[in-house]
Structure 1
């Protein structure tokens, strides 16, 4: 493979570990490599790069363990942090930023992380990290140190020379103290247990002596506030005169670019790491692996099966031979339309709000197009969401004793699929528009309740009852997927074809003579199918446009 100069790339590791909890370490880094590394590399070369990073970070032992999260047991906190670092060093960046990489870790794990970062730096990368209150062992690993106080530079230079520098300007600890704690106290204005320059000490004494009747609590507070300001001013001026000028002079010296800035196979290009179709396939399979645990969990399977069995027992071998029995069975069909309209909405609402941080992180580094992510997310979710409805319909259909015809059964299943796809689109649109689970759930509850009431069972919006419904609200039924699903299920189960008109089997076509069915004027069902297809497209388009409003970096 040809050797080329590495592009000027910057990697950034967030303080929070934003990773998918159900993916393994190997899967996480492999998917990142497939999406981020340039298209000039083959799939095998990208996978090899991911394995090299796993080896470099010492993650071989846990490479087949899931990352885990708040409710999922997985790797340790240090290993999770190393995975996040691995996501960034896949591209071999010349500059790596880390925001508090030791936050939330014990001292031993934090030391291992810092030692690993030091090894990365010695391998030819520049590593810049912010760390609050490091231990003395961590502080000893630092090469250079920038100490900031109230937005000003108080020290910039070798970490090993920091204590000598502050001692030279009059600040030194009076007791044994961790160098990091000493420096942080200086940056925050805490002067306890530290010597001070004589000039500042004399000024503080003069302020205290100005009070003739002894210092009051107000005077003490005012004096300390002045002391902190004087100390900050003194430290900034000393840094500007003794440190910054020297470092600036060093930075102006020409630096020879040597082999440590070279890498293998990474081209200087801002193009996508994969084509749209490749991005879609990678994100689709990643979505299946990540969310199969939630969509096909024991709780959800039990919930759907228990509901189906209860419905089957309540409507056990129901009939439609009489008007009363027909209305009872119609109630079952309405419940099916409501259940598979309600259930997917509140599942889809969580999709984008829960993945907002991950989406922002991955899109900010140009990992994939938003359109590829959106299509992959929809298709992978649909693949998982359609498994349980099949189980539900099979149980209910034969326990209840609905019309025993394979074509009728198949059309009923497809109607339920249409309802799920439309209601899922509504949930995605609401979640993407609000990006807040509580607000989205509240709005979805109101919308779903309205759709259910306008669904045609509680209030039959047929022509003979239209006068009872105000005209300004009667149109809502056309927006309700419950309404269209219910009418389609009634049409499929109680269709009145030519054989009924010719006086065929009276038992089979008894519903055709029902005033309830005739009053609904079901038609051929084409209008309902067209309306639900329109909902599927429009709701998802609204969800996509809402995601575009997030103004994430990189073009779609």
Structure 2
């Protein structure tokens, strides 16, 4: 199955390894982000990005399980459980890769590994433009967690402004950072709630969909080349989910590499993805174009006689449920049937996809993508520390004010 991709033409000339956007060995803050240094305000989505081609080969992740031994000896014997089992794939700039699978299939674990955030016994090979994970890749990567971690007593504008002050380079003035915040608010449709508090368990604030857009906006501010999202539509209605994925699609169309986990997208959302990785208990059973998934499963004997949402069929197969299954045996017989279906799908993947995919990944040329040599960390941590302290003080003041108002009532 073809995985080759064509690198989008950068807005700057290709440089030799170790050179920045200007062709010189620039300091980290000048090389990390590409922001226009003009008075004109430019859309965040239209900002130029440094293209990153993400490739992962035979990724395996295991964890140790502690189990007590003899009740007399009190010894502990460690057993290993495989969470990810030989997953491979490729995502190019301008593409969205969706990871599908039932709960516990390893989607979030794989996403965390791709973001360089996974500790433990991880084997395989994950490269970014042919290079291993490094500080410069980390600074070009945006990660949106499933749970929105936001200060409840700050407004939407304050949250994004603090993010800009902490994460954007010092070369930008306060006014330029404020302009980028304004553009993010407009792009994400947060104008109506810009002066509303985020809210928390003790008092109401903005809606769940608006919180998710704020979380995405925090990553948009740094203009990431690689954007990773964990269940961005979880708990949202279909209209809000459509709006979120549409925004993500626009980010990808701007030359960014996007990887997202998603549990059960609607048919409209599914067709917005370029590639799909389908996981079943940590093992891949499909990798390739989203539009070709149904044809692939039909070719190996898992066709459906009715029109269905592609993601519904894929999730049924990942759970070991064949198409058009009408009830049937329950209990032990059902578990045996599901196990047999999963084993059949894994075997078909190894035969039809895995071998050719490995060969194409080995022969894939990533030299068309420039690469900036890793540079020292930011020299301006003291400014970040001041921002964190100021943000903490503002949050505490909000909590105290809320307590005083509650006592007065």
Is 1:274 the equivalent of 2:274?
no
Superposition map of 1:361-510 within 5 A: none
Deviation string, structure 1 residues 278-324 (Cα, Å, up to 9, x no partner): 33432333233323232133646847xx9xxxxxxxxxxxxxxxxxx
- Show the counterpart of 1:231: 341
TM-aligned CA deviation for residue 232 of structure 1:
1.2
TM-aligned CA deviation for residue 247 of structure 1:
3.2
Distance in 2 (alpha carbons) for counterparts of 1:44 and 1:2? 24
Superposition map of 1:222-301 within 5 A: 222-251=332-361, 252-255=363-366, 257=368, 269-272=375-378, 274-276=380-382, 278-297=383-402, 299=404
Is 1:68 the equivalent of 2:199?
yes
TM-aligned CA deviation for residue 194 of structure 1:
4.8
- Show the counterpart of 2:115: none
TM-aligned CA deviation for residue 56 of structure 1:
3.3
- Show the counterpart of 2:256: 125
Distance in 2 (alpha carbons) for counterparts of 1:76 and 1:225? 40
Is 1:43 the equivalent of 2:153?
no
Distance in 1 (alpha carbons) for counterparts of 2:349 and 2:182? 45
Distance in 2 (alpha carbons) for counterparts of 1:221 and 1:301? 54
- Show the counterpart of 1:91: 222
- Show the counterpart of 1:371: none
Distance in 1 (alpha carbons) for counterparts of 2:209 and 2:147? 12
Does the aligned pair in 1 maintain the 2:276–2:286 contact within 8 Å?
Answer: yes
TM-score (norm. length: structure 2): 0.60
Deviation string, structure 1 residues 236-280 (Cα, Å, up to 9, x no partner): 111122223333344332135469x99xxxx9645247342x334
Distance in 2 (alpha carbons) for counterparts of 1:30 and 1:255? 36
Query: Gaps (5+ residues) in structure 1?
Result: 196-214, 307-556
CA-based RMSD: 3.1
Superposition map of 1:101-120 within 5 A: 101-120=232-251
SS at the partner of 1:61? coil
Is 1:79 the equivalent of 2:210?
yes
- Aligned partner of 1:57 among 166, 188, 195: 188
Distance in 1 (alpha carbons) for counterparts of 2:265 and 2:388? 38
Over 3 Å counting, the alpha-carbon distance change for 1:228 and 1:302 in structure 2 is closer
Bigger share in strand: 2
Bigger share in helix: 1
TM-aligned CA deviation for residue 58 of structure 1:
3.1
Distance in 1 (alpha carbons) for counterparts of 2:384 and 2:269? 40
TM-score (norm. length: structure 1): 0.45
Superposition map of 1:100-179 within 5 A: 100-179=231-310
TM-aligned CA deviation for residue 148 of structure 1:
0.3
Over 3 Å counting, the alpha-carbon distance change for 1:109 and 1:31 in structure 2 is same
TM-aligned CA deviation for residue 131 of structure 1:
0.8
- Aligned partner of 1:21 among 138, 145, 152: 152
TM-aligned CA deviation for residue 57 of structure 1:
2.6
TM-aligned CA deviation for residue 235 of structure 1:
0.6
SS at the partner of 2:183? helix
Decide which structure has the larger Cα Rg and report it.
1
Deviation string, structure 1 residues 314-352 (Cα, Å, up to 9, x no partner): xxxxxxxxxxxxxxxxxxxxxxxxxxxxxxxxxxxxxxx
